[in-house]
Homo-oligomer: A and B are copies of this chain.
Amino acid sequence: MYIGVDIGGTSIKMGVVDDNCNITSELEIPTGAERHQNIVFEDILNAVKKLSLNNNIKAVGIDSPGMIDTKSGTVIYNNNLNWIDFHIGAMMSEALNLPVTLDNDADAAALGEAVAGSAKGSSRALIVTLGTGVGSGFIVDGKIFSGCEFGHMVVQHGGRLCTCGRKGCFEMYASATGLIISTKEAIEKYPDSKLARMAEAQGKITGKTAFDAADEGDKTALEVVNNYIDYLACGLANYVNGLHPEIISIGGGISKQGDSLLNPLRERIKPEIYGYKHMKEEPVKILACTLGNKAGLIGAAMSAKQVL
């Protein structure tokens, strides 16, 4: 048995995971990121000890957002949690006398999807999360290809300013944040559109607003959604041309649109794939993630299993 620890900005999800990727028991604690990192560590340690009781735990896998050094098990830097040089891996390993791994959260979630979810059995899988940002993890032969920040790939040179400092990152167009920007721009331009009226009625603009108005046939919203899918196809095709994943699994809030997002995306990406017309097989399958918010926990545990 392995323990997976999935650290998020608000809460930390933990669970005991067996060799078949089943979660046999679970625990969730608040992150309390405003506290010192060593205090947060004590909380995690106690919860892990609790989960360990009566379980033959062989290793613990942690994942965290931020810049990670997997070799030394260190969170080098995390903007939201205000962590700097947090040696959580080594500290946990010493306290438990067990092997402990530390991975980036998007990497762990990708590993979860690749070993137990939507991309099970594929030799190259790319997991892309369309949320506040664009998270990404690339799994090659069942292992994390660490550190892939595909969200910070410029697709529009000189375009929208990203939080990372670059201009025109994929994330600024394909994330929920990007879609909200596009929706706002369209509403400003077409204040009489149904999209504008629906946004006003909802009281706020989310990543769902344009899809909802498009479902009702609003022309402005349809254009926003089409442009969104266009950018999404563009960025994903960049990955396909560069890395040839067999499967791209889409997760995150926007993926809840399901086939009304995925079907046009599957069509739109084809002409963008290098040499598409000469290919005998579909170059890539685009699927929805299946593990939801358990992907990180399972992936972290499976990453720990891999070091044994």
Say whether A177 faces chain B, with CB atoms less than 8 Å apart.
no
Say whether A190 faces chain B, with CB atoms less than 8 Å apart.
no
The answer to whether B153 and A156 touch across the interface, beta carbons within 8 angstroms, is no
User: Once bound together, how far apart are the Cα atoms of A220 and B165, in whole Å?
Assistant: 28
Say whether A260 faces chain B, with CB atoms less than 8 Å apart.
no
Identity of the chain B residue whose Cβ is nearest the Cβ of A78 in the assembled complex: B278
User: Once bound together, how far apart are the Cα atoms of A267 and B162, in whole Å?
Assistant: 20
Knowing A275-B67, A275-B77, the reply to whether A241 touches B155 (Cβ < 8 A) is: no
- Interface segment among A25-33, A143-151, A193-201, A203-211: the answer is A143-151
- Interface segment among A54-62, A89-97, A179-187, A230-238: the answer is A230-238
What number of copies of this chain does the assembly contain? 2
Knowing A147-B244, A244-B146, the reply to whether A274 touches B164 (Cβ < 8 A) is: yes
Knowing A157-B231, A166-B237, the reply to whether A242 touches B278 (Cβ < 8 A) is: no
The answer to whether A154 and B244 touch across the interface, beta carbons within 8 angstroms, is no
B residues within 8 A CB of A150? 241-242
B residues within 8 A CB of A275? 67, 77, 164
Knowing A234-B154, A274-B164, the reply to whether A242 touches B242 (Cβ < 8 A) is: yes
User: Once bound together, how far apart are the Cα atoms of A77 and B278, in whole Å?
Assistant: 7
Known: A76-B278, A148-B244. 18 other contacts (CB 8 A): A77-B278, A136-B242, A145-B243, A148-B243, A149-B241, A149-B274, A150-B241, A153-B153, A153-B238, A153-B242, A154-B155, A154-B234, A154-B237, A154-B272, A156-B157, A157-B173, A157-B231, A164-B274
Q: List 16 A-B contacts (CB under 8 A).
A: A136-B242, A146-B244, A149-B274, A152-B241, A153-B238, A154-B234, A154-B237, A157-B234, A164-B274, A164-B275, A165-B272, A166-B271, A166-B272, A238-B238, A239-B242, A242-B242
